[in-house]
Structure 1
Amino acid sequence: METTEARRKGEWLELRVSRTPESAHAARLTLLAAGELPGKWLNRLYAAGGIRVGEGCIGLRVFADSELSAEPLYGRAAAAAGTLVPILHEDDYCLVLDKPAGMAVHPSGPAHGGTLDEQALRHMLRTGQRVRTRHIHRLDDDTSGPVLYSKNDLAQWKLDEAMRAKQIDRVYLALAHGRIGPNRGTIDRPIGRDRHHAARRRVSSSGDAATTHYEVVERYADTTLVRAWLETGRTHQLRVHFSSLGHPLVGDALYGGAPRQGIRAQALHGEVLRFPHPWSGARITVCAASPRWLAALSR
């Protein structure tokens, strides 16, 4: 398929094509043959009447409105007041929110409010966007940094694919106890559940493969500031890996870290998020503001 232009027109994404298909069915087959869009998504879109043909174009109902009042978090989001968390990036396909330490990404139960998912829905309501958002990845409650959301089903399909293909990169800053010797290193140790503690993970030969790369940013008297990035995304991966080296993160009581003045939670911060845009494929880089605990180190 040779497309010359794609533009949004209300709920529809119009693809200009050099040859107009005879029907919506023919347009679906043309798009499937091109292989640029998820096949299952195209078939579902077609079944719902979401593909149409115009003069010189194929229309895809990518931006269909959602009934947000049916969302489980609607009541809390509509009633909530106060300041929203910072928005680091937004377009028609995706949203990136700057999650503070101490906030969960999603609720753990019906009574759990004040989550980042709730913040995303509040933003949609405040800006008049009838859009259902879904987080693509998560951060631990006490970890700050950027979290990526999809704003339509196509974006969710494409970004989920990118996660599975390890095309979404997350770079972290962490403050670890002790002085880490090598300036650079790789921690390649499998991680599994800790049968003695439901909330903990541990290095285990029977666990899932987990790889963390790091570089030393600065060494202090009894701590080391590192920048780390993950090949895998296991639960608590950075925290488990550095604890397994004998260098637990400052403030991380679950894995042996001790508290430090000026640091109220574990000293772990998502610094940079990189992902391929779900439509254009362009590489998007989003940077979060430095955490307060990092500024406290220089005082």
Structure 2
Amino acid sequence: MEIRKKGKWLEIVVPKGWTERTIEDVLKNQLQIPKTMLHSLRMDKTVKLNHQITPWQSLLKSGDFIQLELFVEEEFGVTPEYKEISILYEDDHVLIVNKQAGIDTHPTKEGQLGTLANAVAFHYQTQGLQTKVRHVHRLDRDTTGAILFAKDRLSSSILDRMLERRDIKRTYLALVHGLMKQKKGKIDEPIGRDRHHPTRRRVSPTGQVATTHFNVLKTFPSKKLSLVELNLSTGRTHQIRVHMSHIGYPLVGDELYGGQAITKRQALHAHSLQLFHPITNDLIEVQAPLIDISEPYFEFMNLKKVPN
């Protein structure tokens, strides 16, 4: 399928497989545009066929052009602020950034600066792109690694739905205290708020369902540490930190959940991201290298030194 951006329009060249299908069928079932957005596109008359506004029941033929007014100018939603960002992947629809430690994903109060979202807004501005900064998921302030942004409203809607269905695979690395005896496994424990602490979470029978899969990559007997690969079937706040602490292996540096302060932050890194592109359906796979492994103990998380 041939897709291209032309100004504010997304232009799709109709492939042979769409012949004799209606515009509406393709929008609903092939592009999987959410109902609310379909209604908006219909009311605003922002779908064209071969540069003409055409009834949505019109049949398509190979080589036709479907055009969607997708790249409209929007407020960033945050104040653009210059800060270097490490880009892992970018096209007209998707941006994946390798987040460094010590910054929030997005502002938590009006006018806040210094977040990754502020830096992404500045990046958009330098590209001449005027669009809302849309993070698809977030990472804790001191967690590093791959984080996904949608650059248009359609991609944002599709990616949000993919995240809900767990169709976006996020793989983390964590350095934990203790030598883990079980090499692979699953932690199935609900997580809720800790009523005795404003930010902490805890395993609670009344909490939300939470599932974490783990795989021990390497142990370091002299340091009594384990390097663990983790995948989430759910996305609860502090999920990895809570679950690993609950089974007796808190993250190095994670004082909130019982880790020792031998590093300045918790040793958690979003190592890789895998998803199908929201528009083209092409497979996207990225790996986020650790930006700074100079701090003691973080060198143990450098996969280049860890055998498979």
TM range (shorter): 0.7 to 0.9
Instruction: Tell me the equivalent position of 2:241.
Output: 239
5 Å-filtered alignment, 1:34-45, equals: 34-40=29-35, 41-45=37-41
For the 8 Å contact 2:28–2:34, the answer to whether it is kept is no
Q: Residue type of the partner of 1:15?
A: I
1:44-66 per-position Cα deviation (integer Å, ceiling 9, x unaligned):
12222311222732211122233
In structure 2, relative to structure 1, the CA distance for the partners of 1:128 and 1:32 (3 Å cut) is closer
Higher alpha-carbon deviation: 127-136 or 200-209: 127-136
Instruction: Tell me the equivalent position of 2:265.
Output: 265
For the 8 Å contact 2:78–2:133, the answer to whether it is kept is no
In structure 2, relative to structure 1, the CA distance for the partners of 1:61 and 1:295 (3 Å cut) is same
5 Å-filtered alignment, 1:29-178, equals: 29-32=24-27, 34-40=29-35, 41-54=37-50, 56-66=64-74, 68=75, 71-74=76-79, 77=80, 80-81=81-82, 83-178=83-178
Distance in 1 between residues matched to 2:15 and 2:216, nearest whole Å? 53
Higher alpha-carbon deviation: 289-298 or 97-106: 289-298
Q: Note the C-alpha offset of 1:35.
A: 4.7
1:121-173 per-position Cα deviation (integer Å, ceiling 9, x unaligned):
01001222222220000111110011100000110011011011110111111
Distance in 1 between residues matched to 2:6 and 2:298, nearest whole Å? 46
Distance in 2 between residues matched to 1:10 and 1:165, nearest whole Å? 32
Instruction: Tell me the equivalent position of 1:23.
Output: none
RMSD value, Cα: 2.2
Instruction: Tell me the equivalent position of 2:3.
Output: 6
Higher alpha-carbon deviation: 35-44 or 166-175: 35-44
Q: Residue type of the partner of 2:269?
A: H
Instruction: Tell me the equivalent position of 1:22.
Output: none
For the 8 Å contact 2:77–2:132, the answer to whether it is kept is no
In structure 2, relative to structure 1, the CA distance for the partners of 1:16 and 1:240 (3 Å cut) is same
Q: Note the C-alpha offset of 1:16.
A: 3.1
TM-score norm. by structure 2 comes to 0.84
Distance in 1 between residues matched to 2:214 and 2:25, nearest whole Å? 45
In structure 2, relative to structure 1, the CA distance for the partners of 1:165 and 1:11 (3 Å cut) is same
Distance in 2 between residues matched to 1:179 and 1:231, nearest whole Å? 24
Q: Note the C-alpha offset of 1:27.
A: 6.5
In structure 2, relative to structure 1, the CA distance for the partners of 1:202 and 1:18 (3 Å cut) is closer
Aligned length: 280
Could you tell me the percent identity over the aligned residues? 39
Q: Note the C-alpha offset of 1:184.
A: 1.1
Runs of 4 or more off by more than 4 Å in structure 1? Answer: 32-35
Q: Residue type of the partner of 2:71?
A: F
Unpaired segments ≥5 residues, structure 1: 20-25
For the 8 Å contact 1:28–1:51, the answer to whether it is kept is no
Higher alpha-carbon deviation: 31-40 or 207-216: 31-40
Distance in 2 between residues matched to 1:158 and 1:100, nearest whole Å? 26
